[in-house]
Homo-oligomer: A and B are copies of this chain.
């Protein structure tokens, strides 16, 4: 979700729920694979399996786009690829800038899946003067000083931030001031942006911590593993009590 102060219903304006939008790229990827194998039609069941979701959910998702299926047969692959692409706005060209060309920024610039669907790396920007002019992934790195001009000259509306945490908010502010309205943030910081600007974040460290949590749970329960009700197995010390705890917590000094 957007990080700033977005208590708005977000996407309801056009009826497509946010959760559905987030899955469309998944469907698109599966459909593209089918298309390359020249498969003419798919059932919701097959496509759902390929996309890793429930078939009912997939059908409901598609129902928000309109009735593109044929009962008794399934969905026309090519047609659906087109419809989803159009819905996602991938039929047009999206120039993107990447700010912060360190390890990660360079990896992103080289990432193939970037250019694939309508996205084009229009410029690479870094604050280090030593980087200026040096080509990364065939694109010369430009200095931060020219950020505003680069954004405007290329009509960029999507920016990718791959700077260190400390630089992220200032860079973000400049991007927004220059006209960027969508930001993909790889820096481990909460960005605050004005209304109307979308921010999505990709945070490696957070993902790992979430995995660690589940990993710890699995390790702590051993034995019962996948069984139905692990119930109250002996737990480690951890201010633990009954499931519906109301026991006063022991405050430390």
Binding site for B on A (CB under 8 A): 3-4, 11-15, 21-22, 24-26, 28-30, 50-52, 63, 65-68, 70, 79, 86-90, 92, 94, 96, 103-104, 106-108, 110-111, 113-114, 116-119, 157-158, 181-184, 188, 190, 192, 195-196, 198, 200, 202-219, 221, 225-226, 230, 235, 237-240, 243, 245, 248-249, 251-252
Contacts and interface: CB of A to CB of B under 8 A. Distances in A.
B210 A200 contact: yes
A36 to B, nearest CB: 13
B67 A206 contact: no
Nearest to A208: B119
Given A66-B245, A158-B211, 4 more contacts: A15-B243, A88-B213, A117-B205, A182-B214
Contacts of A70: 251
A29 B79 CA distance: 45
Nearest to A186: B204
A202 B192 contact: no
